[in-house]
Amino acid sequence: MIKPPIHPATPRRLKTKFKRARWNFQTLAKALGVNVYYVHRLIRYGEEPTNANIRKMLYLPKHMRGTDKPTSQPLPDYEKWWRYTLKKESRIRIKERLYKHAQDINNNPPG
């Protein structure tokens, strides 16, 4: 079989196994015990699976690196007030009162 293009993000050990499998995705996937889809996507496009077990089988670190995390937005004023000025007990009490009020409205509609 003709050697397909290999993505630079492919682990070295996986490249070696791929070469020993004579550049065949199905043979490599069967040897590793992984679905062909994951092997093909990693070798051709560098797309890493999110499942920890599959990542280990493909010679990737168990957990993905956190470089692609979205940046967190600053909290709005009402959230800051709720989180940082009220104690936990008072937040719980407010939630309980709102819940009871909603239950009263649902059980005894006005009119």
pLDDT of residue 67: 56
Name residues whose C-beta falls within 8 Å of residue 68's C-beta, 6 or more positions apart in sequence: none
In the chain, domain spans: 12-65, 77-107
Cα–Cα nearest to 53, from 27, 35, 28: 35
**Token pair in block for residue 66:** 């956190």
The segments of the chain whose pLDDT lies below 50 read none
pTM of the predicted model as reported, rounded to 2 decimal places: 0.58
